[in-house]
Amino acid sequence: MARNEPVGTAPDLTDRRPRAVITHSRLSSDPRTRTIVIRHGTAWLSLAFLFLCILLMAAVLLGHYTVRELDSKAHETSAAMAQAERRIQQLESGLSFDSKRRQLLLGMRNHIMRANPRVSLRDAYRYAELAVDASEKYPAVDPLLLLAIGIVESGYDPMARSRADARGLYQIWPSTGRLLVRTLGWNYDDSTLYDPEKNTEAAALYLDVLFSTYSDPQMVLAEYNGGPLNAGFFRAGAGQLAAETRDYVPRVIQTHARLREEFERGFQSRLDETHRSRERAGKTLAGG
């Protein structure tokens, strides 16, 4: 072969150009086969995914609604329980208050009957009730202080009258009583201060006024017993102090302290001999 003879295959190598691969081009380019299969599968997947999303959202909303309902019911139950507890506490408080008030009234009644054996059981309880009612109207006044004053002043005799013309259960002077009774809106006459109800409330009003003036119970009692001039003598320790007031103030203070101590220990009401009917003494049932 001559050196300069061209190689037969060289032109074939140099003339080769890229050609499009058309193998299976008909099958892959068939629009009907490819489009139907692909679109059909994608639609079902999309519908399934959408359905799952809807189910998930429905479950979330249902759960949220259920939680809200449970929370609302829990709040309602809690509120109902709190209201029930408050009512129970109020009921217990009311029962406790009524029980203590009843015990106080019975104890005061017994002391009144000891101070005045002639007073009936019914009247003694009424005097005690008047004193407690007055102290509730005038909170500065301790009902046991009223009890102590009544024991020392009159021995709980509603018709008592002193040499100085003080009258009634709590021994109020007519000049002072006239002012107090009219302040309370009642008409005044000579029999007014012998009325246990009016005498008790007038005494409580007077003590309430005195407690707003003095912070010392001894000064209150000194003026209650002897008037403002005597109270001044008591404060100064002057010799002009009336002998009655000098004895009266410590007696009431001591009686009040004894009563408070007894009632704070817990008074156990019982029927003493002084409370028994004299008409039934020694009597028995028929045939007994």
Of 65-69, 91-95, 131-135, 264-268, the poorest mean pLDDT is in 91-95
Of residues 45 and 162, more confidently modeled: 162
Task: Work out the number of other CB atoms within 10 angstroms of the CB of residue 267.
Answer: 16
Q: Is the pLDDT of residue 277 over 60?
A: no
Q: What is the pTM of this model?
A: 0.61
pLDDT of residue 108: 94
Nearest-angstrom CA–CA distance, 197 and 72: 56
Distance CA 15, CA 10 (A): 8
Per residue in 233-268, pLDDT tens? 888 888 778 888 899 999 999 999 999 999 888 754
Higher model confidence: residue 61 or residue 169?
169
Beta-carbon contacts of 112 under 8 Å, excluding residues fewer than 6 positions away, are: 119, 124, 127, 128, 147, 150, 151, 156
Share of the chain above pLDDT 90, in %: 46
Fold adopted by 99-270: Lysozyme (1.10.530)
Q: Higher confidence at residue 92 or residue 172? A: 172
pLDDT of amino acid 154: 95
Q: CA torsion sign, 90 to 95 to 101 to 103?
A: negative
Asked if the model's pLDDT at residue 71 lies above 50, the reply is: yes
Q: In which band, very low, low, confident or very high, does the pLDDT at 190 lie, cut at 50, 70 and 90?
A: confident
Nearest to 151 by CA among 53, 254, 52, 252: 252
Sequence ranges of the domains in the chain = 31-89, 99-270
Structure tokens belonging to residue 104:
């106080």
Question: For the CA atoms of the chain, what is the radius of gyration?
Answer: 51
Q: Please give the pLDDT value at position 137.
A: 94
- Give 96-109 pLDDT, tens digit per residue: 657 788 889 999 99
Q: Give me the helices (H) in 196-242, please.
A: 196-213, 217-236
